[in-house]
Amino acid sequence: MKILVLGGAGMVGQKLAQSIANGGLGDISIDELILHDIVEARSIKSDFKTRSLVGDIANNGEAIKLAELKADMIFHLAAIVSGEAETNFEKGWNTNARGSWQFLEALKQVHEATEGQYRPRLVFTSSIAVFGGPYPDKIGDEFLSAPQSSYGAQKAITELLVSDYSRKGFIDGISIRLPTVVVRPGKANLAASSFFSGIIREPLNGKEALLPVGTDVRHWHVSPRTAIGFLTHAANLDTSLLQGRLAINMPGISCTVAEQIEALRNIAGEDAVRLIKREPDDLVMRLVSGWPRDFDPQRALAMGFAADKSFEDIIRIYIEDDLDRSGQ
């Protein structure tokens, strides 16, 4: 099997690649792993062939080059993150929506050129940003998708494209709506949600962290390790179980910023907590105010997706997996 990871140089893409290199994908025999991104991905050691490709999925011609690789399994992680998609309207739509559509169209062309023989499994990483308020206490699997940000709209549109191209038989797709992934290693990115990681990561590295929102803000989280588990589980899932509803809410941990800070205090002590400094940011507060807070993801749980046990466990996973390699 040939595997293609779009967004393969990003944090999730690199962790996914390393997970595949270390343990494969269940009983699937892997021949080649290809990582594609706008920058070269870090090399991955494995028992099978790996390579990195550099290009922009939003550019004309890039999508057909990727489709012609005829990867059997595709993980679509490539995206402009939430904060940048909101402030750079054209870039967000070009990459997150037009880029995805171009790629699906290219897969369709290869499917038709092979007389239907080529039909790859595609796992698309969507987001809880596809939802907008007002919210119930917990968002169930029947709650409507009504995004209130450009990023959320772009993700929702790609979900619909994945569903329709799957319905027509061009691909075998599934969209998993990830919670916010924390604690992310390395430096903060342009995602509006990056502070959720920053207020844990920076103090654990002995650095000051800025908190742009109030401590009463509640949000839905998952560790990078568990997010990778979602992706690999989705890769092997029988999509007929989804009964045509190919976008599925992933389980997570719902907690307030105050509860995050308390978890940090329990693990790292008061000195770490003192490094968190409040610095209100109107744009971030506006975006966060429209985000989901809690879910009841019964479909995902019934299909074998499992969440982290607590936010303290999420912090411990960062310490175990990334603290010494965070690059700070």
Q: What is the pLDDT of residue 218?
A: 95
Range 53-70 burial, b when 16+ CB lie within 10 A, else e: beeebbeeebbeebbebe
pLDDT digits (tens, 9 = 90+) for 170-197: 999 999 999 999 999 988 776 778 999 9
pLDDT digits (tens, 9 = 90+) for 231-249: 999 999 999 999 999 999 9
Would you say residue 131 has pLDDT above 70? yes
In whole angstroms, give the CA distance from residue 135 to residue 139: 7
* Average of per-residue pLDDT across 249-258: 98
pLDDT digits (tens, 9 = 90+) for 71-106: 999 999 999 988 888 889 999 999 999 999 999 999
Would you say residue 202 has pLDDT above 80? yes
pLDDT digits (tens, 9 = 90+) for 32-63: 999 999 999 998 888 899 999 999 998 889 99
pLDDT digits (tens, 9 = 90+) for 290-300: 889 999 999 99
Helix, strand, coil share (%) of the chain residues, nearest 5: 45, 20, 40
Provide the β-strand partners of residue 266. none
Q: What is the pLDDT of residue 23?
A: 85
* Average of per-residue pLDDT across 303-328: 88
Q: What is the pLDDT of residue 26?
A: 82
Q: What is the pLDDT of residue 28?
A: 84
- On average, the pLDDT of the chain sits at 94
Burial label, 273 (beta-carbon count in 10 A; 0-12, 13-18, 19+):
middle
Predicted TM-score (pTM) of the model is 0.93
The residues annotated with a catalytic role in the active site are: 151
In three-state form (DSSP H/G/I as H, E/B as E, the rest C), the secondary structure along 264-286 is: HHHHHCHHHHCCEEECCCHHHHH
Using left for φ > 0, alpha for ψ between -120 and 50, and beta otherwise, residue 247 falls in beta
Across 14-23, 50-59, 120-129, 280-289, least confident range = 280-289
First to last CA, the chain: 37
Q: Check: CB of residue 260 under 8 Å from CB of residue 199.
A: yes
Q: What is the pLDDT of residue 122?
A: 98
Q: What is the pLDDT of residue 55?
A: 96
| Domains, the chain, ordered by start | 2-179+223-249 (3.40.50.720), 194-219+253-293+308-325 (3.90.25.10)
Would you say residue 328 has pLDDT above 50? no
Provide the percentage of residues in the chain whose pLDDT is more than 90.
84
Q: Check: CB of residue 206 under 8 Å from CB of residue 97.
A: no
Q: From start to end of 128-190, where are the E strands? A: 172-178, 180-181
Please list the alpha-helical segments (H only) found in the chain.
11-23, 62-67, 82-87, 89-92, 100-113, 150-167, 194-204, 224-236, 257-268, 270-273, 282-289, 298-302, 311-321
Residue type, 286: R
Burial label, 119 (beta-carbon count in 10 A; 0-12, 13-18, 19+):
middle
Would you say residue 31 has pLDDT above 70? yes
Q: How confident is the model at residue 325 (pLDDT cuts 50, 70, 90)?
A: low
Q: What is the pLDDT of residue 45?
A: 87
Map residue 298 onto helix, strand or coil: helix
* Average of per-residue pLDDT across 115-141: 96
* Average of per-residue pLDDT across 249-271: 98
